[in-house]
Chains A and B, each alone.
Chain A
Amino acid sequence: MNLITVSGPPSSGKTAVILKTIESLKKRNLKVAVAKFDCLYTDDDILYKKAGIPVKKGLSGALCPDHYFVSNVEEITKWGLDNNFDILISESAGLCNRCSPYIKGIKAICVIDNLSGINTPKKIGPMLKSADIVVITKGDIVSQAEREVFASRVNTVNPAATIMHINGLTGQGSFELSTLLYSEEDHVDSLKGKELRFPMPAALCSYCLGETRIGESYQMGNVRKMKLDD
């Protein structure tokens, strides 16, 4: 089985891109499944089910969504292997721009959209900078000049990535992406021993544990203060 991690900011078009790409993969008789990770709410699992794609959904709720992802990805992989899928795609939203769910040796795709503004590539951390493939969506509603500027900014922060333009509504470009996804050599048996490409930041303070009161005396653990004196 090939495991592929897809992530990107909320509403960038991850689900649309994955759905269109799976259409092309299915034509090659590949069995594809999706594990959808989100924070508070998602009904994308219904979209996948409607398209006849096996799907598992995980909501992190009060936990950090990326930490929740790492804690569950091994089990999800086992689910995929037990069901003999050819490809398992994990989809997760990058919420704080700092973490990324990418794993060493596992293909990583970042989806971002042209509408998010040309400084966005600068603001997104490892999720964009360490991806193998960067998919840029919503190109149909911006000008050619903006598309070119945006892609060149992405290239500056991640020169090694393959950059692709996909229209999530019409699927234009998704066939091309599908040709880069499956390879027999990328077979995974288990994630045991594998490592994240990037450590996730540590944050454990009194507010993580449910504190609601404001004030220094209630702050414990990993607390840091802004520098306000110039």
Chain B
Amino acid sequence: MITLNRIKETKISKLIEDYPFLISFFEDNDLDITSKENLEIAEYFASFDEDEIEDKAIDGERYIMQIFEFINQMIAFLGQEEDNVQSISILPGNDKSGNREKFDKFTIKKGEIICIVGPTGSGKSRLLGDIEWVAQNDTPTNRKILVNEAKPDTKWRFSSSDKLVAQLSQNMNFVMDLSVYEFVELHAESRMVENKEDVINRIIEKANQLAGEQFTIDTPITSLSGGQSRTLMIADTAILSKSPIILIDEIENAGIDRKEALNLLLSEDKIVLMATHDPILALLGDKRIVIKNGGIDKIIETTDKEREILSELEELDRTLLSFRSRLRKGEILKK
């Protein structure tokens, strides 16, 4: 591994040859290296005059430290095997009144859908927070989280690229003004995926399979409908996000094939946690966690009997949707 002192004495051109990702470091820090490639790093930072140093707030020592840090992070990131998170286990803690939660160990495996139910303010976000922060009896609930049945790596807490949980929230917006393609491309670049183009096209194709109405790669993201934005985000998160757990905050029943959306996430080996009070979604789950007074009150396994209701509900759902689409087409509604 390259040392701090070695970095100082290495020519910029050589560093970039060895670590091409440094180009984005120089660009994002607004450090112009054109025609200075032959300088050693220390010489480069010494080449700025006083005005430049003051205007651009250049601190050579700090930049060199950061280059060192960045190189090490990127090497770790690029050489990383895909994280193989097979399961997450929750060990019991306490509810808001200090009562111990009534389960021994709850393990969620890859490919499972777990629903979380309970009134607002009951502690759903805290449970999620515990998972995200891989609690080790050091959060207000005193829960403990295991990854693959073992004490988790601290990187899940502090690394900016390794997050356990990706969140798909109900009321998200796009604040950027880009086309669908450019938007997904930006995400793909930040994840540094190879064969970028294939990945982007696959995401857009998948999203369109889930969406009621189609969109193209040139559609501006800000003009996508609610349903289309959700399908794009689900496909993007399923395929591009590195997080092994996906938390979904309700999927509104409009312009999106919800069952297929969940299947897509599962086919990409995700663990799905879903906060929902929609009976169809809840019954699609394998189990559901009931939260009360800040603690896990019950864990209910979906039974076959409950699933019988599901087909009935799905029938109702289809009826509702067909009326909706007839309404959209301008038809007169009749039985």
Q: Interface on A for B, CB 8 Å cutoff?
A: 24, 27, 98, 114-115, 117-118, 121-122, 125-126, 129-130, 139-146, 148-149, 151-160, 162-163, 170, 172-173, 175-176, 179, 198-199, 201-202
Contacts and interface: CB of A to CB of B under 8 A. Distances in A.
Given A118-B176, A149-B190, A159-B69, A144 B241 contact: yes
B136 to A, nearest CB: 11
Contacts of B323: none
Judged by DSSP, the binding face of A is helix
B98 interface: no
B260 to A, nearest CB: 19
Nearest to A141: B173
Most A CB atoms within 10 A — which of B28, B30, B125? B28
Contacts of B99: none
A54 B238 CA distance: 46
Contact of A145 (B29, B30, B240): B240
B183 A152 contact: no
Interface in B182-203: 183-184, 186-187, 190-191
A139 B241 CA distance: 16
B172 interface: yes
Contacts of A145: 183-184, 186-187, 233, 236-237, 240-241
Interface in B154-170: 157-158, 160-161, 166-169
Interface residues of B, number: 49
Given A149-B190, A157-B29, 12 more contacts: A129-B29, A141-B172, A142-B173, A142-B175, A143-B233, A144-B166, A145-B233, A148-B241, A153-B28, A154-B160, A156-B25, A156-B29
Contacts of A163: 160
B144 to A, nearest CB: 15
22 contacts: A24-B140, A121-B28, A126-B59, A129-B62, A140-B169, A142-B173, A143-B174, A145-B183, A145-B240, A146-B176, A149-B186, A152-B160, A156-B28, A157-B28, A157-B29, A159-B70, A159-B73, A160-B66, A170-B125, A176-B133, A176-B157, A198-B57
Contact of A27 (B70, B140, B174, B237): B140
Contacts of A154: 160
A157 B128 CA distance: 29
Nearest to B247: A144
A114 B66 CA distance: 23
A155 B174 contact: no
B54 interface: yes
A130 B160 contact: no
Nearest to A201: B54
Contacts of B5: none
